[in-house]
């Protein structure tokens, strides 16, 4: 298989076949992201993709799910993605689903008819790092869209029958606005109803623009305890019809996962219990204490 540069996948794609169709990220400009630093974006040559599919057919002929690499494989034109799907289906007879990372801008470049054709071809579960429901936080992260655009594009996916998962970065608005951030994040997730919501904390990676922003005092990091409080507040406000809540990334101080709405209270209880291990943050001293709907509501 051809894997060049950085290759990543969401934790829940551990058993998917990873097929490299692009290298790097076509945006590669988010202020917090160090994943593809120094890597130039490129599209994999078709003969490499064909060779990898042929190899997969030999070594994993029972493959049921494929994850397309790398940072935003959904940037490929619909026609190209449909070609990949056709080749995969021909070579892997038990294949059911194809997914990958997608950005909001990748959806906007496709027509409604193309989105529907992609759904019909087996694309399912694009992982989208929407990150935040607040416009100024999206701007500070340099995501390249506002929340109205994100909402519009995600609703288009729903209309096309293309289920997706959403990544939310908890604590991205800093500790002073954690209540506001939790509410804004819950609002966009409730409105767009992803099949999975993935939460992880904002962490400052060395060499990123965010590191300089933090050092200059333009961004204040939350403590682990504050992060957990925001995660709980977000979770409490979710009104999901049927959704996996996934918070077991290695960066989550307290790893929890379950199905919403059924497991909501159990997840909140687990987070509250786990939070006791993070004494660096005393609830009583938090500026949000006592606000309507915050921690005191439980």
Q: What strands, in cross-sheet order, belong to the sheet with 65-69?
A: 17-20, 65-69, 97-102, 126-131, 164-170, 196-201, 243-247, 256-260
* Measured CA distances, 277 to 245, 271, 273, 280 (Å): 22, 10, 8, 9
The H or E element spanning position 183 is helix 178-192
Q: Is position 201 an interface residue for ligand SF4 (rule: CB under 6 A)?
A: no
CB of 171 to ligand SF4, least distance (A): 16
Judge whether 66 and 125 are in contact, CB under 8 Å.
Answer: no
For tokens 């049927």, the residue is 242
Judge whether 87 and 66 are in contact, CB under 8 Å.
Answer: no
Name 98's bridge partners: 66, 123
Based on CB atoms, which residue is closest to ligand SF4, 52 or 72?
72
CB of 183 to ligand SF4, least distance (A): 23
Q: Is position 129 an interface residue for ligand SF4 (rule: CB under 6 A)?
A: yes
Q: From start to end of 155-195, where are the E strands?
A: 164-170
Based on CB atoms, which residue is closest to ligand SF4, 36 or 294?
36
Site map 57..96 versus ligand SF4, x via CB under 6 A:
--------------xx------------------------
Q: Is position 25 an interface residue for ligand SF4 (rule: CB under 6 A)?
A: yes
Q: Go through the chain and tell me how many residues it has.
A: 298
CB of 107 to ligand SF4, least distance (A): 13
Q: Is position 35 an interface residue for ligand SF4 (rule: CB under 6 A)?
A: yes
- Direct distance between the N- and C-terminal alpha carbons of the chain, in angstroms, rounded to an integer: 51
Q: Is position 286 an interface residue for ligand SF4 (rule: CB under 6 A)?
A: no
- What's the rounded Cα separation, in Å, for the pair 60 and 26? 29
Based on CB atoms, which residue is closest to ligand SF4, 129 or 258?
129
Q: Is position 33 an interface residue for ligand SF4 (rule: CB under 6 A)?
A: yes
Based on CB atoms, which residue is closest to ligand SF4, 24 or 258?
24
Residues 6+ apart with CB under 8 A from 132: 138, 141, 143, 147, 168, 169, 172, 173, 181, 184, 185
Among 12, 13, 22, 27, contact with ligand SF4 (rule: CB under 6 A): 27
Q: Is position 196 an interface residue for ligand SF4 (rule: CB under 6 A)?
A: no
Based on CB atoms, which residue is closest to ligand SF4, 20 or 63?
20
Q: Is position 10 an interface residue for ligand SF4 (rule: CB under 6 A)?
A: no
Tell me the three state secondary structure of residue 184.
helix
Q: Is position 30 an interface residue for ligand SF4 (rule: CB under 6 A)?
A: yes
Query: For ligand SF4, which stretch binds (CB under 6 A), given 20-28, 190-198, 252-260, 266-274?
Result: 20-28
CB of 144 to ligand SF4, least distance (A): 8
Number of Cβ within 10 Å of residue 142's Cβ equals 14
Based on CB atoms, which residue is closest to ligand SF4, 136 or 242?
136
Q: Is position 7 an interface residue for ligand SF4 (rule: CB under 6 A)?
A: no
Interacting residues with ligand SF4 (CB under 6 A): 25, 27-30, 33, 35-36, 71-72, 103, 129
């Amino acid at each position: 298989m051809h894997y060049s540069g950085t290759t990543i996948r969401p934790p829940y794609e551990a058993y998917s076949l990873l097929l490299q169709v692009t290298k790097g990220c076509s945006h590669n400009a988010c202020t917090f992201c160090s994943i593809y630093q120094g890597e130039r974006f490129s599209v994999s040559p078709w003969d490499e993709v064909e060779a990898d599919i042929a190899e997969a057919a030999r070594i994993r002929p029972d493959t049921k799910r494929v994850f397309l690499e790398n940072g935003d494989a959904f940037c490929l034109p619909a026609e190209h993605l449909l070609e990949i799907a056709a080749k995969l289906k021909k070579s892997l007879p038990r294949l059911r689903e194809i997914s990958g990372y997608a950005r909001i801008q990748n959806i906007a470049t496709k027509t409604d008819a193309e989105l529907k054709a992609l759904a019909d071809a087996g694309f399912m579960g694009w992982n989208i790092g929407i990150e935040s429901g607040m416009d100024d936080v999206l701007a500070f992260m340099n995501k390249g869209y506002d929340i109205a655009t994100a909402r519009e594009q995600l609703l288009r996916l729903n209309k096309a029958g293309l289920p997706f998962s959403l990544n939310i970065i908890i604590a991205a608005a800093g500790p002073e606005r954690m209540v506001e951030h939790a509410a804004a994040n819950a609002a966009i997730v409730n409105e767009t109803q992803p099949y999975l919501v993935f939460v992880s904390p904002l962490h400052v990676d060395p060499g990123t623009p965010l590191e300089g922003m933090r050092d200059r005092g333009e961004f204040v990091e939350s403590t682990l305890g504050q992060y957990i409080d925001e995660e709980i507040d977000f979770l409490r406000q979710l009104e999901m019809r049927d959704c996996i809540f996934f918070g077991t990334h290695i960066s989550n101080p307290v790893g929890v996962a379950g199905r919403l709405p059924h497991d909501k209270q159990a997840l909140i209880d687990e987070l509250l219990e786990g939070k006791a291990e993070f004494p660096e943050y005393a609830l009583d001293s938090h500026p949000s204490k006592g606000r309507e709907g915050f921690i005191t509501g439980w």
